[in-house]
Chains A and B, each alone.
Chain A
C-alpha cells in the first residue's frame, strides 16, 4: 500500500516537471455544468492488485494509457486515410484535409503499387488508381507531396511488401525539400505477416520478407530515428472476420515474431522497440472495444518486459492508430454509417488511441467523396472538442464490466499466444494456415448469426426499407492507367539508364549477400528506378509467396 502512495507521489512529481515544459490544453478542466475534472480518478484505497493490473497512466503496465495526461495534454492525431487516382489528385485531397484541420497524412496506395508492379504492368490492368494513389517512381512521389513540408507533417503510409522502397522515396523527396531524414516523422505499415493471414498484398515468402523488415529497423534506428518502422496491424485481421480476442492475440503474436527476428539479427530490443507501433480496429461492440485496447496495452508491456527483457519503457508501450471498422458499414441506408462510425471512434478514444481514422459513410459503396470525408473528420472533432471524454484520463477504468472484459480479453489472447508458441511462432502458424482458418471460421459464424437474425444489423436484417440506388459516388477515371503508362514511358526515356542498371545490379548483389537493402533502395530511387524494376529484381532473388488454400 505504502509503495503505491510513493509511486503516486513520484508520478505526480513527474507530471509537475513535465507540465512546466509542456502545459495541458487548459489551466482548469470542468464539465459543461462547471464541475471540476481531475486528471485521473483512482480507487479510494488502491491496493497492490490495482497497482499491478492498472497502475498509473504513462506507467507500466500502461493499462490506463501510455501518457500520464493523455488527451488533456494533446488530442489524438486526426489522420484520414486517403489517396486515389494520380499523385496530383491525391496531393489536392491532402492539401484540402490539412486545410480542414487534419493533423497527419495517411497515404493509400493502389494495388499495383502495394504489390510492386508499375502502372504499365499487365497485371495492373483495371487497378491503377482504384483503391489508392498510383506510385511507380520518385517522380510520382514528388508530385504527391508537392507543397507539403515534410518537416511539418507526419505521414503514415499503408505499404507493406515494398515499404522500404516507398520510405526511400519519401526520404528522397524530403532531401529535395531540404529536409533531413532525422527530421521525418511518420509510419510505414511494413507488417507483412498480417498480409499473409488477412490482407493479401504480399510479394515475397515470409523469411526474406522478415529479413527486409529487420533491415528497415536497423537502418531507421540510425538514420530516421523518429520514424515508426512498423505498424503491427490487427485492423485487417478484424476486417477479415476475427473476433476482438483474436485481433489482440494474432497482432501481438505477429509483433513477437518481428521482435524475435530483429533480435536474432543482432539488434537490441530497446534500440528498435520504441519505434514499434500498432494499428487496431474499432468495431461496433462498444465496451468490448474499449477493453480491447486496454488489454492489448497491458499484455504487450508484459511480453516486452518479461519475454524479451526490455528495460526501456518506450519499448513496452503500445502506441496505436485506430480505424473504425470498414466491415461494419452497410451499403443499405448509408447515412446510418455516420452513427456507427461515431460510436466506434468514441470507443477508440475511451481506449486511449494515439491517432484515429474515421470511415466515411459511403465506403461500403466506393471510395469516399469529399463531403463524406468531411463528415467523418467532423465526427472526430466533435468527440475531441465537445463531448468532454478527453478531459480525464481513462474515464471508464474501474467499471466492473470494463475491467472484467479487459481481464478476459487478455486471458483469452494469452491462450491463443500459447498455442501459437507451440506451433513455433506466428510465421509457422501462418505458414500452416492456422491463423487463416481461425479467422475465416469466426467470419462465417458471424455471417450465420446475422442471417439467422441472432445479430441485428440495422437496415440489413431489420428495419429494412426500399431505397433508391446511391448517387454521386466517387469514380476513378479509367484513363488514369493510360496517363500513368505514358508518364512512365517518358520517364524511362529521359532518365540516366546506366545509373539505373548499375543501381539494380548492386541491389541484386546486396539481396543475395544478406546486406542491408535500405541504402540500395535509396540509390535506386534517386536515379528514378521504378518500383516495379526494384521489386522485379528482388522477385528474382527471393521468389514469390504461394499462399496455402485454407478452404
Chain B
C-alpha cells in the first residue's frame, strides 16, 4: 500500500521548529513518510518541493503571526499548479478568529497549541487521498 507522504514546512521567517519537528516525528511513528523543508521557506519553495516530492499532505507551521498572509499565498500557488488533491494543514500560534478565513482559502484544518498529535494523525488518515 502507498504510504502517505507529508511535507512538513516552515513558511516565513520564524525559527520556532519544535512543534513541526515533534509532529514530523509523530507522523513518522504513525507510518507516514515525512520530508521536512527546514526554516524560512517562501510559498514558492514550499509548493515546488511539494510537487517534486509528490506529497499527499502539506503541514504548514507558523508561530510568528504571518499565517494570515503566507497560508493563503501557499494555497493560491497550489491551485495554480492544479494540485487539488493535496491536503494542506496549518499549525502554530493562530488565533481562533483567523481560522475561518484560512479555511476559506483552502486550508483543510488548523491545529493550535496543545493539540494531541494523534488527532493530527487521525485527521490525515481520514482525509488524505494518497494515489495508488
Judging by beta carbons under 8 Å apart, are B66 and A126 in contact?
yes
B64: A residues at CB distance < 8 A:
111, 127, 130-131
Task: Chain B residues near A471: list those with CB within 8 A.
Answer: 97
Q: Can you list 16 residue pairs at the A/B interface with Cβ under 8 Å?
A: A111-B64, A123-B42, A125-B69, A130-B66, A199-B15, A240-B16, A240-B17, A327-B18, A330-B114, A364-B93, A366-B93, A367-B65, A440-B25, A447-B22, A478-B68, A551-B21
**Chain B's nearest CB lies how many Å from the CB of A41?**
40
A11 to chain B, nearest CB (A): 44
Per the 8 Å Cβ criterion, residues 1-30 of B in contact with A are 12-18, 21-22, 24-26
Is chain A's binding surface mostly helix, strand, loop or mixed?
A: loop
Complexed CA–CA distance, A286 and B18 (Å): 23
Contacts of A460 in B (CB 8 A): 114
Q: Report chain A residues within 8 Å CB of B13.
A: 111-112, 114-115, 117, 123-124, 127, 201
Best-surrounded residue of A111, A195, A473 (most CB of chain B within 10 A): A111
Check A551–B24 contact: CB distance below 8 A. Answer: yes
Given A126-B68, A127-B64, A549-B36, A444–B15 Cβ distance below 8 Å?
no
Q: Which residue of A lies closest to B62 (CB)?
A: A126
Is there an interface contact between A469 and B97, defined as CB atoms closer than 8 Å?
A: yes
Which 3 pairs across A and B sit closest by C-beta, in order of nearness? A200-B15, A126-B69, A126-B66
User: Given A366-B95, A478-B69, does the pair A240, B117 have CB atoms closer than 8 Å?
Assistant: no
How many residues of chain A get a CB closer than 8 Å to chain B's CBs? 46
Q: How many residues on chain B are close to A (CB under 8 Å)?
A: 35
Contacts of B22 in A (CB 8 A): 241, 440, 443-444, 447
Chain B residue with the shortest CB-CB distance to A362 = B95
Contact between B16 and A200, CB atoms less than 8 A apart: yes
Chain A residues near B116 (CB, 8 Å)?
451, 461
* A53-85 interface with B by 8 A CB criterion: none
B113→A364 contact, CB < 8 A? yes
CB distance from B95 to the nearest CB of A (A): 5
Residue of B nearest to A131 (CB): B64
Choose among B13, B18, B25, B114 the residue with the greatest number of A CB atoms under 10 Å from its CB.
B13
B31 at the binding interface (Cβ < 8 Å): no
B114, A240: Cβ atoms closer than 8 Å: no
Asked if B48 is at the interface of the complex by the 8 Å CB criterion, the answer is no
Residues of B within 8 A of A367 (CB): 65
Distance in angstroms from A474 CB to nearest chain B CB is 10
Q: Are the CB atoms of B36 and A131 closer together than 8 Å?
A: no
**Residues of chain B within 8 A of A402, CB atoms compared:** none
